[in-house]
């Protein structure tokens, strides 16, 4: 196959990121006090996310270059921040000092620097070796290390301070994802005048799993600094409300949590003992939690997939694959949550049993590099590559391997061409907050052909009822579903695809953002602005 050219930038919903380059350590003391700041910035809308919408990289002559980092979260938020003329607080994606704030495409970008030690302890450690596996149903064992937690507190404080410095009096601040769960509480302690929203892009685990976290109470009370908490699915919301009751001893009513003023908002502040929270007789606030399933800019994918060059590229891809009658496609970050090995096992057995075979069928497996310095990711890569080698070794004919494995990242155009070239899209996540790749595939299939095999453990499964839903742990079921999807009649494919396309078109990313921000505006209370 003539392989698509690798992309320097991050792709579509994959949001591929590389490890960080070493730089001078620059630590701040953990016990640095969080004093209430009366200084306000000039932005009435501020987004706080672990990464900026652009990544800092080294250009060919060693100079600093800023490259667009499209990713799901970035693609979702960029138009909203731009339209509001807002500020975006985030990490530039490498180790080193923060750049000076700068303006780009109508946004004010404010970098938060991480030292090499913080990249290791905060990003690779607490975010991606503690929280990520814990929140994804302990598919990999989470590691609980106290220095990692200390780094998490310290870095969250830095983000909160940067956001506080940008927000105008009474501003709306929207904080994103599991990397920044302490920011709402820390920000409230600094700036009680701002309205704070938080959206969790990944699942929120059941309490029996969440309870393993030694810092569960601090995480819950940190999140409760927000006025509105958004989750992908109803189930995530219910899990969070249960954690409020069990880990923090708080009272919930429907989707609301009552938070007494005595509950410490700042993770390393001791606060009163838990049993005193409810009995202190002081004031309280109400925080709302609800599901807001995230989506994609479906119109832009549809437009991309209708371009002549993209359609020509899709034809070229099929040709390069040897004009098979069936192209199966998998597109993920190389992550153990994505069920890549389950997919390969099922496909390998389908080939073993002769239910599909080369040269008629091929699987294109795009697994983009991700978090490559975290051990579990390195182990997974080895296992995937051994498995692909084994399947190809057993079933390939000269020039016709059954698996085309691409450990690379691609631009949106190439992804749209791959989506157009694929008869069956395989999304087999063992746990996934949403899975935007499933929605991208649907958005590109304007002619209503193609089939989506979709794990029921994705947020997307709640919305895309036209998919062939599957439990990826059930290898026999997965095999049958792949074969069934491959043989779907054109009429049934059209019926399924039409309903999915309607959903993705009507509930696009603009709908997601607008519904969250509308609900935030109506959230229970707005504290008075600070005296100036």
Interface contacts to ligand F6P, rule CB under 6 A: 15, 17, 50-51, 71-73, 177, 201-202, 370-371
Nearer to ligand F6P, 51 or 188 (CB): 51
Secondary element (H or E) of residue 274: helix 274-277
Nearer to ligand F6P, 371 or 503 (CB): 371
Work out how close the CB of 50 gets to ligand F6P at its nearest, in angstroms, rounded to a whole number.
Answer: 6
Helix %, strand %, coil % for the chain, to 5? 40, 20, 40
Name the token pair of 234. Answer: 């109803």
Q: Backbone phi, then psi, for 455, in 5-degree steps?
A: -65, 140
Burial 342-360 (b: 16+ CB within 10 A, else e): bbbbbbbbbbeeeebbbbe
Q: What are all long-range contacts of 444-447, with beta carbons under 8 Å and residues at least 24 apart?
A: 444/301, 444/302, 444/304, 444/305, 444/416, 444/419, 444/420, 445/305, 445/419, 445/420, 445/497, 445/501, 446/302, 446/305, 446/306, 446/501
How many residues would you count in the chain?
532
Work out how close the CB of 359 gets to ligand F6P at its nearest, in angstroms, rounded to a whole number.
Answer: 35
Work out how close the CB of 368 gets to ligand F6P at its nearest, in angstroms, rounded to a whole number.
Answer: 10
Nearer to ligand F6P, 57 or 202 (CB): 202
Nearer to ligand F6P, 51 or 439 (CB): 51
DSSP 522: T
Nearer to ligand F6P, 19 or 222 (CB): 19
User: What are 381's strand-pairing partners?
Assistant: none
Nearer to ligand F6P, 345 or 435 (CB): 435
Nearer to ligand F6P, 370 or 523 (CB): 370
Nearer to ligand F6P, 71 or 142 (CB): 71
DSSP 15-67: --BPPPPP-------TT---PPP----SEEEEEEEEE-SEEEEE-TTS-EEEE
- Nearest to ligand F6P by Cβ — which residue? 17
Q: Is the dihedral of CA 62, 64, 68, 69 positive or negative?
A: positive
Nearer to ligand F6P, 182 or 403 (CB): 182
DSSP 95: B
Secondary element (H or E) of residue 133: helix 132-135
Can you state the angle between helices 509-521 and 72-84, rounded to 10 degrees? 60
Nearer to ligand F6P, 328 or 380 (CB): 380
Q: Backbone phi, then psi, for 452, in 5-degree steps?
A: -115, 120
Of the candidates 426, 413, 439, the residue with the CA atom closest to the CA atom of residue 507: 439
Work out how close the CB of 131 gets to ligand F6P at its nearest, in angstroms, rounded to a whole number.
Answer: 10
Work out how close the CB of 410 gets to ligand F6P at its nearest, in angstroms, rounded to a whole number.
Answer: 16
Work out how close the CB of 432 gets to ligand F6P at its nearest, in angstroms, rounded to a whole number.
Answer: 9
Q: Backbone phi, then psi, for 19, in 5-degree steps?
A: -65, 170
Work out how close the CB of 296 gets to ligand F6P at its nearest, in angstroms, rounded to a whole number.
Answer: 13
Work out how close the CB of 333 gets to ligand F6P at its nearest, in angstroms, rounded to a whole number.
Answer: 6
Nearer to ligand F6P, 321 or 415 (CB): 415
389, 393, 397, 403: CA torsion to nearest 10: -30
Question: Cβ distance 337 to 136 under 8 Å?
Answer: yes
Work out how close the CB of 15 gets to ligand F6P at its nearest, in angstroms, rounded to a whole number.
Answer: 3
219, 224, 226, 231: CA torsion to nearest 10: 70
Work out how close the CB of 299 gets to ligand F6P at its nearest, in angstroms, rounded to a whole number.
Answer: 21
Work out how close the CB of 371 gets to ligand F6P at its nearest, in angstroms, rounded to a whole number.
Answer: 5
């Amino acid at each position: 196959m003539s392989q698509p050219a690798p992309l320097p930038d991050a792709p579509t919903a994959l949001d591929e990121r590389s490890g960080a380059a070493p730089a001078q350590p620059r630590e701040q003391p953990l016990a640095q006090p969080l004093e209430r700041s009366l200084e306000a910035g000039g932005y009435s809308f501020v987004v706080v996310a672990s990464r900026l919408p652009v990544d800092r990289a080294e250009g060919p002559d060693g100079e600093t270059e800023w490259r667009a980092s499209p990713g799901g979260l970035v693609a979702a938020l960029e138009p909203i921040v731009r339209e509001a003329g807002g500020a975006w607080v985030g990490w530039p994606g490498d180790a080193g000092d923060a750049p000076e704030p700068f303006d780009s495409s109508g946004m004010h970008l404010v970098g938060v620097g991480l030292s090499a030690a913080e990249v290791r302890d905060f990003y690779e450690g607490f975010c991606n070796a503690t929280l990520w596996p814990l929140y994804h149903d302990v598919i990999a064992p989470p590691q609980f290390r106290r220095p990692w937690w200390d780094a998490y507190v310290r870095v969250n404080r830095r983000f909160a301070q940067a956001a506080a410095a940008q927000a105008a009096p009474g501003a709306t601040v929207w904080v994103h994802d599991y990397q920044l769960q302490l920011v709402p509480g820390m920000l409230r302690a600094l700036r009680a005048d701002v309205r704070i929203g938080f959206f969790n892009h990944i699942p929120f685990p059941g309490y029996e799993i969440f309870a393993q976290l030694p810092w569960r109470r601090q995480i819950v009370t940190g999140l409760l600094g927000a006025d509105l908490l958004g989750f992908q699915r109803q189930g995530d919301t219910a899990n969070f409300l249960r954690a409020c009751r069990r880990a923090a001893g708080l009272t919930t009513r429907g989707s609301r949590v009552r938070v007494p003023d005595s509950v410490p908002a700042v993770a390393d502040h001791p606060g009163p003992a838990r049993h005193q929270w409810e009995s202190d007789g002081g004031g309280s606030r109400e925080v709302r939690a609800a599901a807001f399933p995230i989506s994609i800019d479906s119109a832009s994918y549809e437009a991309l997939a209708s371009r002549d060059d993209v359609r020509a590229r899709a034809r070229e891809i099929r040709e390069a694959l040897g004009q098979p009658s069936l192209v199966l496609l998998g597109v993920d970050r190389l992550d153990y949550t994505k069920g890549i090995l389950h997919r390969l096992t099922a496909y390998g057995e389908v080939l073993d049993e002769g239910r599909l075979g080369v040269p008629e069928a091929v699987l294109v497996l795009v697994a983009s590099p991700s978090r490559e310095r975290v051990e579990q990711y390195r182990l997974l890569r080895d296992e995937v590559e051994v498995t692909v080698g084994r399947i190809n070794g057993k079933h390939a004919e000269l020039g016709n391997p059954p698996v085309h494995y691409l450990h690379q990242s691609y631009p949106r155009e190439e992804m749209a061409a791959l989506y157009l070239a694929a008869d069956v899209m395989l999304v087999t996540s063992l746990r996934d907050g949403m899975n935007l790749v499933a929605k991208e595939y649907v958005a590109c299939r304007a002619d209503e052909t193609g089939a989506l095999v979709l794990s029921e453990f994705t947020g997307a499964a709640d919305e895309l009822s036209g998919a062939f839903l599957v439990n990826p742990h059930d290898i026999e079921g997965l095999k049958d579903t792949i074969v069934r999807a491959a043989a779907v009649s054109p009429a049934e494919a059209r019926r399924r695809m039409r309903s999915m396309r309607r959903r993705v078109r009507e509930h696009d990313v603009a709908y997601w953002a607008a519904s969250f921000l509308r609900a935030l505006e109506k959230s229970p209370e707005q504290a008075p602005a600070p005296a100036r």
